[in-house]
């Protein structure tokens, strides 16, 4: 059975059939990504490849259909994103790189690939089945060789702020993997599809988190949020038993 999402209010994701570049030289579909996969991301300079890691699948909806914006370049590259998903583009009027929601990108913008930018030939809006939201350590992800942000607008803040807010998640991930080994999944839950409990918790408390971030942009906030994640994970695991 396929569920149709009529609006992208809280869903910002990738199409599951698009591909990412693995560090070992292979490609992998987004719907087949696993925690710990070593992948390539593109630095903000648009030139440097960064060895990255997938640390959490925040949302997985293999049987759900949602509206995607598919960007097709003049040289045949393509990428599909839901409307609230952020993507790095070149604003030709401002002559600089900015992050925009996919629904607001137009043909006057250019997409970013390694060492070059590409012009958009056309943008197609259509319903497609299967959407996913992986979280990486850099906050970026190369999809079909096009640079994107992994973050979405539904949290109500820009990607660079979201990346700092998610710092405790990255710290917790590496700490737990250091303690228990590289095969350990710190955010494992009994939910195999749908919104993972951790981002669900963050979305439900986004107003409080924004408030804390605005008044305490320091190490104390990181410690508090790391403890919050740890306690929420304990709560999730206890309820799953």
Beta strands, E only, 36-76: 38-42, 49-73
Shared domain check, 36 and 98: yes
Q: Indicate if the pLDDT at residue 57 is higher than 60.
A: yes
Pairing of the two strands 3-4 and 49-73? parallel
Domain boundary among 155, 187, 214: 155
Of the pLDDT bands very low, low, confident and very high (cuts 50, 70, 90), residue 94 is confident
- The predicted pLDDT at position 61 comes to 92
Domain boundary among 155, 179, 201: 155
Q: How far apart are CA 155 and CA 35, in angstroms?
A: 23
Indicate the length of the chain as a whole number. Answer: 241
Of the pLDDT bands very low, low, confident and very high (cuts 50, 70, 90), residue 188 is confident
Q: Indicate if the pLDDT at residue 241 is higher than 60.
A: no
Distances (CA, A) of 104 to 8, 22, 169: 13, 29, 29
Q: Indicate if the pLDDT at residue 100 is higher than 90.
A: yes
Shared domain check, 212 and 142: no
Residue, of 4 and 149, whose pLDDT is higher: 149
For residue 175, what is the enclosing H or E element?
Answer: helix 167-180
Shared domain check, 173 and 73: no
Q: Indicate if the pLDDT at residue 219 is higher than 70.
A: no
Of the pLDDT bands very low, low, confident and very high (cuts 50, 70, 90), residue 175 is very high
Give the CATH number for residue 35. 2.170.16.10
Once rounded to an integer, what is the mean pLDDT over residues 209-225?
Answer: 62
- The predicted pLDDT at position 184 comes to 92
Residue, of 213 and 58, whose pLDDT is higher: 58
pLDDT of 73-85, one tens digit each? 999 999 999 999 9
pLDDT of 110-126, one tens digit each? 999 999 999 999 999 99
Shared domain check, 207 and 99: no
Shared domain check, 169 and 128: no
Residue 11, both tokens:
């869903």
Domain boundary among 111, 126, 155: 155
Reported pTM: 0.81
- The predicted pLDDT at position 110 comes to 97
Shared domain check, 114 and 16: yes
Dihedral sign from CA coordinates of 216, 219, 220, 221: positive
Shared domain check, 49 and 93: yes
Q: Which of the 8 DSSP states describes residue 153?
A: G
Q: Indicate if the pLDDT at residue 88 is higher than 90.
A: yes
Q: Indicate if the pLDDT at residue 181 is higher than 60.
A: yes
Expressed as residue numbers, the domain containing 34 is 3-155
Of the pLDDT bands very low, low, confident and very high (cuts 50, 70, 90), residue 4 is very low
Shared domain check, 92 and 205: no
Shared domain check, 229 and 206: yes
Count of domains in the chain? 2
């Amino acid at each position: 059975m396929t569920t149709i999402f009529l609006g992208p209010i809280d869903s910002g994701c990738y199409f599951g059939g698009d591909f990412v570049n693995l560090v070992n030289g292979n490609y992998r579909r987004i719907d087949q990504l696993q925690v710990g996969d070593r992948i390539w991301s593109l630095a903000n300079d648009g030139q440097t490849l960064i060895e990255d890691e997938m640390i959490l699948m925040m949302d997985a909806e293999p049987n759900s259909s949602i509206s995607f914006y598919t960007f097709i370049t003049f040289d045949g590259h393509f990428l599909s994103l839901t409307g609230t998903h952020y993507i790095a583009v070149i604003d030709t009027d401002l002559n600089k790189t900015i992050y925009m929601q996919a629904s607001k990108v137009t043909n006057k913008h250019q997409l970013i690939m390694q060492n070059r930018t590409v012009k958009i030939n056309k943008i197609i809006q259509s319903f497609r089945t299967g959407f996913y939201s992986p979280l990486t350590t850099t906050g970026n992800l190369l999809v079909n060789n096009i640079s994107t942000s992994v973050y979405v607008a539904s949290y109500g803040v820009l990607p660079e702020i979201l990346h700092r807010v998610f710092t405790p998640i990255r710290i917790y991930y590496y700490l737990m993997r250091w303690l228990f080994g590289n095969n350990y999944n710190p955010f494992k839950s009994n939910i195999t599809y749908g919104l993972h409990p951790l981002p669900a918790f963050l979305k439900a408390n986004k107003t409080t988190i924004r408030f804390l971030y605005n008044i305490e942009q320091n190490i104390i906030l990181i410690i508090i949020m790391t403890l919050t994640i740890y306690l929420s994970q304990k709560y999730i695991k206890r309820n799953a038993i």
